[in-house]
């Protein structure tokens, strides 16, 4: 009883501005054009079958892995070649990760990778940039989400932080994704070890530039630009789904939606708590969630209202402190639920969140069935 009283008091004392994902007003959000960071350039990729050449790099395995991850989510296929003249992409050693997009009179994109073992995530990022997908932090609406500190950036690389003009972007209605594989980390290209980018959402800043895979919105941007032909556009997709480029007349859904048109929320199986849909009300509700494998939980209310959530690990399980790309809890609470959420790692201190819209999605991925978390939620 004492525990419940403490939690209720704690929730009521928390001010929503301590936990908002963004400081945007409702008016600003509704006026937002949700412009995707896809550069509509004159030199478009004519074929999705790409040949690449690797020059003097000690480790080509990570290049293969990075390209395989792009292929698994898109229509692009990559083939290594020893013939430099037939290559579209050239990977060269360099001090920083960067890309020279091809000029009008050139057939090549040159991608510079670290002299040491190249990081898979940055190979993906620079390859997609070469193919026409801009960096996430260069979007025309980026000032609502991040602050760029030009004084901390090497002058040579300032161009990589230049905000793009709205008119040169294809508008795919994609939300700003801090965890996009196309996003720089907070100190990338820093000349003085100070931040070059600061997120206005402090909960998610530690995860900027850390994605090792394409996010849902990354893949969606590539597929909408290059992989969706007129026959595939007949698929009627909802809940942020889009026509599947690999299976005609079906939809590519967010991982927590399913059905031919992404119309259903997924159910839990295995060690996950079977009841996974909850309604937020004005009174505080409490749940203990059992985790094991991949689990999804939905906290919902009616449009126009928001949800306040407190989440923490069961105190007996804090010795299991795994938190990485394979074992984690993600909480999505943006108005655009398709963009990545905040990662919550096992710790004593709870995480407190106020949703931007009428839905919070909790996703867990744990191989062990020993994990349990407690949640308390109510209308904000």
Q: Phi and psi at residue 226, in whole multiples of 5°?
A: -120, -20
Q: Which CATH architecture has domain 49-130?
A: 3-Layer(aba) Sandwich (3.40)
C-beta of residue 35 within 8 angstroms of C-beta of residue 171? yes
Domain boundaries, the chain: 2-28+268-379, 32-38+135-209, 49-130, 231-266
Strands 109-114 and 89-94: parallel
**What's residue 34's pLDDT?**
35
**What's residue 15's pLDDT?**
42
The yes-or-no verdict on residue 198 having pLDDT over 80 is yes
The yes-or-no verdict on residue 379 having pLDDT over 50 is yes
Angle at 341 between CA 173 and CA 380, to 5 degrees: 95
pLDDT mean over 248-259:
93
Q: What would the pLDDT profile of 290-307 be if each residue is shown by its tens digit?
A: 988 899 999 999 999 999
**What's residue 47's pLDDT?**
82
CA 77, chain centre distance (Å)? 23
- Rounded Cα–Cα distance for residues 308 and 278 (Å): 13
Q: Tell me whether the CATH fold assigned to 32-38+135-209 matches the one assigned to 49-130.
A: yes
Q: Which CATH number among 2.10.25, 2.60.40, 3.40.140, 3.30.70 corresponds to the domain 231-266? A: 2.10.25
Site of tokens 């009300």? 281
pTM (2 d.p.): 0.84
> What is the CATH code for 2-28+268-379?
2.60.120.290
Of 64, 80, 126, 263, which is the active-site residue? 126
Is the domain spanning 32-38+135-209 CATH 3.30.70.2740? The answer is: no
Angle at 244 between CA 294 and CA 49, to 5 degrees: 110
The yes-or-no verdict on residue 319 having pLDDT over 90 is no
- Rounded Cα–Cα distance for residues 52 and 92 (Å): 11
What residues contact residue 121 under an 8 Å CB cut-off, 6+ apart?
66, 181, 209, 210, 211, 212
Concerning whether 126 is annotated as a catalytic residue, the answer is yes
Q: What would the pLDDT profile of 25-79 be if each residue is shown by its tens digit?
A: 322 322 233 334 444 444 455 588 999 999 876 568 899 999 999 999 999 999 9
């Amino acid at each position: 009883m004492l525990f419940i009283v403490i939690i209720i008091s704690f929730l009521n004392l928390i001010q929503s501005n301590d936990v908002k994902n963004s400081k945007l007003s409702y008016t600003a959000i509704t006026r937002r054009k949700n412009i995707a960071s896809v550069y509509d350039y004159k030199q478009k990729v004519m074929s999705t079958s790409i040949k690449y050449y690797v020059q003097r790099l000690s480790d080509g395995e990570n290049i293969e892995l990075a390209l395989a991850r792009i292929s698994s989510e898109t229509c692009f296929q990559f083939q290594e070649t020893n013939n430099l003249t037939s290559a579209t992409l050239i990977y060269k050693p360099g001090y920083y990760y960067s890309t020279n997009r091809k000029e009008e009179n050139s057939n090549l994109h040159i991608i510079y990778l670290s002299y040491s073992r190249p990081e898979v995530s940055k190979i993906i990022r620079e390859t997609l940039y070469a193919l026409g997908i801009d960096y996430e932090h260069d979007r025309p609406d980026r000032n609502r989400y991040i602050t760029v500190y030009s004084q901390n950036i090497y002058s040579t690389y300032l161009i990589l932080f230049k905000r793009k003009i709205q008119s040169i972007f294809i508008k795919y209605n994609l939300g700003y994704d801090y965890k996009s594989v196309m996003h720089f980390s907070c100190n990338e290209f820093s000349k003085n070890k100070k931040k070059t980018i600061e997120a206005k959402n402090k909960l998610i800043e530690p995860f900027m530039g850390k994605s090792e895979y394409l996010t849902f919105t990354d893949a969606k941007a590539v597929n909408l630009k290059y992989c969706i032909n007129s026959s595939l556009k007949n698929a009627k997709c909802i809940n942020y789904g889009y026509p599947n480029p690999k299976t005609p007349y079906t939809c590519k859904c967010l991982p927590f939606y399913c059905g031919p048109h992404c119309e259903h929320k997924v159910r839990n199986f295995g060690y996950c708590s079977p009841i996974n849909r909850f309604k937020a009300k004005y009174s505080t509700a409490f749940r203990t969630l059992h985790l094991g494998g991949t689990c999804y939980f939905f906290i919902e209310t009616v449009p126009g209202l928001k949800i306040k959530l407190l989440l923490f690990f069961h105190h007996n399980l804090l010795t299991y402190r795994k938190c990485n790309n394979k074992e984690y809890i993600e909480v999505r609470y943006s108005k655009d639920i398709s963009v990545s959420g905040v990662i919550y790692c096992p710790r004593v201190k709870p995480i407190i969140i106020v949703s931007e819209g009428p839905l919070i999605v909790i996703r867990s991925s744990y191989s062990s069935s020993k994990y349990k978390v407690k949640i308390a939620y109510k209308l904000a």
